[in-house]
A and B are shown apart, each in its own frame.
Chain A
Amino acid sequence: NAGVTQTPKFRVLKTGQSMTLLCAQDMNHEYMYWYRQDPGMGLRLIHYSVGEGTTAKGEVPDGYNVSRLKKQNFLLGLESAAPSQTSVYFCASRGSGAGTEAFFGQGTRLTVV
């Protein structure tokens, strides 16, 4: 049981390049989330999904797109990377029961130069 797995763990992009971050969970969870965390700051919600085929905007959605074509995967896309998107990205999932806990991945450290 791997839990929540993020791919890749590290990436360096040039400004204007695109990339996709993959989050996979094997716990059959309904809800999935993408966060970014800048140095010394808390986590900020980018986008989230309450089920397969659904997505919704979080606090800081600009410059990102997401897709949830399969229940176990939640993809985060950067169409045209900017230095301001340099951050650590965390994915999380949780079940739909009352007050269920969220499980987080180990993070993806992205640097945009």
Chain B
Amino acid sequence: LAKTTQPISMDSYEGQEVNITCSHNNIATNDYITWYQQFPSQGPRFIIQGYKTKVTNEVASLFIPADRKSSTLSLPRVSLSDTAVYYCLFCKAAGNKLTFGGGTRVLVKP
């Protein structure tokens, strides 16, 4: 069964770059790597998704090495409002289960 492993928590300071690495056990050929952000008392929201190499959007960058056994979410110049839980998970090209792991709790300090 495909599974992700990521750190339980990370602390950072405003203006720093935060990198969260996720290890993927048995990622399948047709799996996309997807990251979600969750603030307290809210549902998760999509941040970024990739298949291989590097993807960048207005919020974050996602780095995926050639073997796809890990991925790194990079949050540039974080602010206090980036304090949240970040989840790494697989998203299959052809739907069905969307399973979350424990996530990484990121605390941004002033």
Contacts and interface: CB of A to CB of B under 8 A. Distances in A.
Contacts of B65: none
A96 to B, nearest CB: 5
B18 interface: no
Interface in A6-41: 30-31, 33, 35, 41
B49 interface: yes
B102 A41 contact: yes
A92 to B, nearest CB: 7
Interface stretch (B21-29, B40-48, B73-81): B40-48
Q: Which bucket holds chain B's interface residue count?
A: 20 to 34
A69 interface: no
Given A102-B46, A107-B43, A45 B97 contact: yes
Contact of A42 (B42, B49, B95, B100): B100
Nearest to A98: B93
Contacts of B99: 45, 58-59
A79 interface: no
Interface in B32-54: 32, 34, 36, 41-46, 49, 51
Nearest to A31: B95
A35 B93 CA distance: 21
Q: Which bucket holds chain A's interface residue count?
A: 20 to 34
Contacts of A31: 95-96, 98
Nearest to A105: B43
A106 B43 CA distance: 5
A99 B96 contact: no
Contacts of A104: 43-45
A94 B98 contact: yes
A39 to B, nearest CB: 10
Contact of A101 (B49, B94, B95): B49
Contacts of A103: 46
Contacts of B51: 99
Interface of A: 4, 30-31, 33, 35, 41-45, 48, 50, 56, 58-59, 90, 92, 94, 96, 98-107
